[in-house]
């Protein structure tokens, strides 16, 4: 029980400190090296996390070998979904501005000049 409390405490510490440190580190990186290096730093962090997960995170369960990852049944399943008219209605709804996102519509038009530069 105490170990899980320590892990959760550390997790919430990182979640709380990250928004404080990220802008500071990012602005220092931009001021010294330029904005393109932020993407390099993010790629290095992502690669490091991937390596650490691969090396140190144990597998939670055994893989299920009964599931085949052949492309034919997967593509057949996608084709079945795409022929479903109910799916197409709900999928196309995501492309139209809904009332839930209407607050961001004025901002999109206000900042459209940035896309042309």
Find tokens 């010294």 and name the residue: 32
* Span 2-30, pLDDT tens digits: 788 888 998 899 889 988 898 998 999 99
φ/ψ bin of 59: left (φ > 0), alpha (ψ from -120 to 50), beta (otherwise)? beta
* Span 67-104, pLDDT tens digits: 778 888 889 989 999 999 888 887 777 655 555 555 55
On the CB side of 75, how many CA atoms lie within 13 Å of its CA? 3
* Span 22-69, pLDDT tens digits: 899 899 999 999 999 999 999 999 999 999 999 998 888 887 888 778
């Amino acid at each position: 029980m105490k170990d899980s409390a320590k892990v959760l405490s550390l997790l919430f510490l990182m979640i709380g400190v990250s928004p404080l440190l990220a802008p500071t580190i990012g602005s220092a990186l931009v001021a010294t090296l330029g904005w393109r290096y932020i993407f390099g730093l993010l790629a290095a962090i992502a690669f490091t996390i991937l390596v650490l997960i691969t090396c140190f995170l144990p597998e939670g369960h055994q893989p299920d070998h009964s599931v085949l990852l052949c492309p034919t049944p997967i593509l057949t399943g996608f084709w079945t979904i795409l022929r479903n008219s109910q799916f197409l209605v709900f999928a196309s709804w995501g492309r139209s501005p809904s009332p839930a996102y209407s607050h961001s519509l004025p901002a999109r038009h206000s900042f459209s000049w940035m896309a042309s530069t």
